[in-house]
A and B are shown apart, each in its own frame.
Chain A
Amino acid sequence: MTFPHKKSHGFTLALILLLTACSTQQAQLHQQQFLLFGTLVDISIWGTDKQQAQQAIAQISTDLENMHNEWHAWHDSPLTRLNKMLASGQSATVPPSMVPLVQKSMALSDASDGLFNPAMGKLVKLWGFQQDDLPESTPPDDAEINATTALQPKMQNLTLTHNQLQSHNTNVQLDFGAIAKGYAVDLAIDKLRALGIHNAIVNAGGNLRVIGKHGDRPWRIGIRHPRAPGILASIEAHDDESILTSGDYERFFEYKGKRYHHILDPRTGYPANGFTSVTVIYHDAATADAASTALFVAGPQRWREIAKKMGIQYIMIMDDKGQVTMTPAMAERIHFESNPTPHMTISTLP
């Protein structure tokens, strides 16, 4: 537009309008990060005035803090008290806020054929993943692992009648580590909606759910590369969608050159083999959270079957050789950002 006297002004104007759109979007975006829930929580809100956004974020941070305190698996909390009751074989009263979480966990554990297993708190503790920092760099004894696994704690051992929880296996110790953040994100999104906010992202430690859009474009979500610094791929999130990854890089320690990560296989008692990360897209974050864990545990042999059972359509898996496998639905939506692009296989669900 050096000398755009007449015709080229149409375009100039279009460009200008585009920029105007851009700039108002920036003005309407409110983003805040804080350390909560034992992780980094990142909230973006688009299209509300600053005061409303700040109030909403403050509300959510209080809510998340409360949930964190209630569901904490190793600090003194309503959950640890509940676990003590379960261990003693008594019927226990579940705090009202925890009832839906227990119900959801039972249903998802069933759907995942027990691969998502929040009943194996003892095993998680044995491995040392129930502490604020990472465990010391030694895996537990094989004998201890085998003994703990043989206790076979399952969600099916529990019966929930109203708010009364009874365990038929005193070795059940609840640890909601593989669902709590996703569920908390769902509750935060519900709260935002109740507050009249319809365009937002709530991201609790990589467990993310999106509602609405960023102005007139969809929210753009980056997926961190499990092995290299930077971003592996990006996805444009649809309205009311959760995107989550379970990876062996989130919490792990290394011992004699081998990586021991926090995603434990309830069948063996050891960290699950075969995959580096599993990313899923699903409507609610609690299901996505549990499903990404279950698929990770299912491994190369069984992930398709479990995905089918849990109703998950969008899956991207990176295996321990750095190769990417995904469902056709996921392949249509994902955009690789890393260079070089990983080798990619499309795999249809049964």
Chain B
Amino acid sequence: MSLALLTTREDHRIAWLAALAITLHIVESTLPSPIPGVKPGLANIITILTLIQFGWSTAAWVNLLRVLVGSVLVGSFLSPTFILSLAGAISSIMVLRVASWLPLSGRKQGTGTIGSGGSGFGPIGYSVLAAMAHMAGQFYTAYLLFIPHDALFHLLPVLMTAAVIFGIISGFIAHLILGRSLNQPRQSPVR
């Protein structure tokens, strides 16, 4: 990836980040999963980095594009799978919006466009919130639209445990990447 491409217009940036997120996810899906159906969600790293480096609206675009383009690539566009995916993405993006408004920890207030100064949250907090929101949104959509039966709730504890664990892990990865790129502010956040 070239630095020049990332520093051009916002559209290009979004496109590249979304492409990266999709790539990460495809790589991830080739790995065996310990619990069937539970995936680490490494693409979350891209969402969090984008949020911290470029702001919420860029992150929202990247996330939604990933769902749209991803479903088209896989051929699930407008299927229940796509609806669940979209629901997860929308709810995580909504939670990140709220989280980036919250001045929780008396750190410097900002627009959320540079560094991690948007709110009290760092990458790990954002990542855990996003992962849990994604799971919850997807889960309740499944419950409301597809399976309005309480038996579904037996899955919730396992799914949320996975969300929290992988949320922490991808948040930590984002943290490591940020630690590097903050020292070189004009570098790609994902190198």
Per the CB under 8 Å rule, do A and B touch in the complex? yes
A13 to chain B, nearest CB (A): 6
Q: Is the CB of A11 within 8 A of B29?
A: no
Q: Mark A13-27, 1 if CB is under 8 A from B, else 0.
A: 101100110111011
A61 to chain B, nearest CB (A): 30
Q: Given A3-B44, A23-B149, decide whether A15 and B71 contact each other with a Cβ distance below 8 A.
A: no
Q: State the total of A-B contacts with C-beta under 8 angstroms.
A: 103
Closest to B161 in A: A2
**Is there an interface contact between A19 and B37, defined as CB atoms closer than 8 Å?**
no
Q: Is the CB of A8 within 8 A of B29?
A: yes
The verdict on A1 contacting B73 (CB below 8 Å), with A6-B25, A9-B81, A19-B151 known, is: no
* Interface check A4, CB cutoff 8 A: yes
0/1 string, B73-95, CB within 8 A of A gives 1: 11010001100110011000000
Name the B residues within 8 Å of A12 (CB-CB).
Answer: 37, 81, 84, 142
**Tally of contact residues, B, Cβ under 8 A:** 43
CB of A96 closer than 8 Å to a CB of B: no
CB of B174 within 8 Å of the partner chain: no
Contact A2 B147 (CB under 8 A): no
Contacts of A350 in B (CB 8 A): none
B88: A residues at CB distance < 8 A? 3-4
> Which of B1-9, B50-58, B105-113, B131-139 participates in binding chain A?
B131-139
Min CB–CB distance B73 → chain A (angstroms): 7
Q: CA A23 – CA B149 in complex, angstroms?
A: 6
Q: Are B159 and A1 neighbours in the complex by a CB distance under 8 Å? A: yes
Known contacts: A9-B76, A11-B37, A13-B80. The answer to whether A4 contacts B149 by CB under 8 A is no
Nearest-neighbour CB distance to chain A for B4, whole angstroms, equals 28
* Cα separation A8 to B30 with both chains bound (whole Å): 10
- Residues of B with C-beta under 8 A to A20: 146-147, 149
B39 within 8 A of A: yes
Binding site for B on A (CB under 8 A): 1-13, 15-16, 19-20, 22-24, 26-27
- Nearest 4 pairs between A and B by C-beta? A3-B41, A23-B149, A9-B81, A7-B29
Q: List 27 A-B contacts (CB under 8 A).
A: A1-B39, A2-B40, A2-B44, A2-B159, A2-B162, A3-B40, A3-B42, A3-B166, A4-B84, A4-B138, A5-B41, A5-B43, A5-B85, A6-B26, A6-B29, A6-B73, A6-B74, A6-B76, A6-B85, A8-B29, A11-B36, A12-B142, A19-B152, A20-B149, A22-B149, A23-B149, A23-B152
